Amino acid sequence: MQYAHLGRSGVKVSRLCLGTMNFGPETSEADSFAIMDRALELGINFFDTADVYGWRVGEGWTEQIVGRWFAQGGGRREKVVLATKVFGRMGEWPNQSRLSALHIRRACEDSLRRLQTDCIDLYQMHHVDRQTPWEEIWQAMEQLVREGKILYVGSSNFAGWHLAQAQEMARSRHFLGLVSEQSLYNLTERTIELEVIPACAAYGIGLIPWSPLGGGLLAGALEPTTVGRRADENLKKAIEKYRPKLEAYDALCAQLGERPADVALAWLLHQKAVTAPIIGPRTMEQLNGTMRVLSLTLNQDTLKRLDDIFPAQAGLRQKPMPGDHSQTCHALRAWCGHRRSRGPVPHSIPRAWEQQSGPSSSCGPVPHL
């Protein structure tokens, strides 16, 4: 197994992250236990779950399964870097979802109880909450860190601007802030290359791609089947939409002598920004089969052919004019104006402005702070 630092933090995680979303709804508890045991044998030390997984409102079914597995002892909890999430609806009352300080605290306590542990290593915001100010969110997270209930904070499904907002506010509070971001990222979905990945690189945030196989599209979806995800009607519609690309992709994989799923995961591992893609095996066979990707090297010609089949976002193919950062500048200017009305603006904002636009940018001078 290979390991990498989680963003700019000192903690090391396996280059593959074990996703547990199938545990309960798709995979029995006994099989889930066996998969987690096997993951440790393979050197996978990074496990990801969420309070909503299991999809029974308020139950945290999947977290309970992971917690009962930890309770068996044998060093299981000590070996795992445990990640879970907060945001989703956990009840019918108004404060049982999102990222208010009230819900963050209660949700954390509930996750700790279900997971049968005294500390969550990586506590992730499952989605951005536009209705809660960052001052409140960070105050709640800081308190959980002080109490030893969480160690690191991560995000999921954030836009690049949300990452910048979060980090600048954390910096102004002398807090570590985010160390990771979970995003939808695979060969068929590369939107985050425009803004999220540059933001992650600028702020030292590790990238944890979810749905690395595109919901099954990149796992040999053209092969006929009547079982599993590839038999799903929605996937069949997506296959028809992407059929020419998938035919070219499968042909390339055949030339390489590799399974399409392995090539898709290997491509992610070749992306500099990626810390660890999330794999979500339903069966032991799927978990064991995934290990091939760790020794699969894609040469530059293969990477180029993959780019030709699944092109990068159009914006990445256009070299910006010097000083052309108007979108970023307008966003920074608007936020600075908003912050001035609420108190001092973090000193890092002028530095970010200069780095983005330069002293003679068409966006204008650094706003007065």
CB 259 within 8 A of CB 296: no
Half-sphere exposure of 110 (CA within 13 A, CB side): 21
Residue 97's contacts (CB-CB under 8 Å, 6 or more residues apart) are: 87, 88, 89, 90, 91, 103
Closest CA to 48 of 113, 1, 97, 115: 115
**Cα separation, 322 vs 106, whole angstroms:** 48
Q: How far apart are CA 73 and CA 83, in angstroms?
A: 19
Catalytic residue among 53, 152, 185, 249: 53
Residue 152 phi, psi (nearest 5): -125, 160
d(CA 71, CA 243): 46
> Is residue 53 among the annotated active site residues?
yes
Three-state DSSP class for residue 165: helix
Distance of CA 241 to the CA centre of its chain: 26
CA 98, CA 367: separation in Å to the nearest integer? 33
Token digits for 328?
A: 């970023």
Q: Is the dihedral of CA 213, 216, 219, 220 positive or negative?
A: negative
d(CA 107, CA 87): 9
- 142 in Cβ contact with 115 (< 8 Å): no
Measured N-to-C along each axis, helices 160-172 and 196-203 cross at an angle, to the nearest 10 degrees, of: 20
Residue 16, CB-side half-sphere exposure with 13 Å CA sphere: 25
Contact between 346 and 172 under an 8 Å Cβ cutoff? The reply is yes
* Active-site amino acid positions: 53
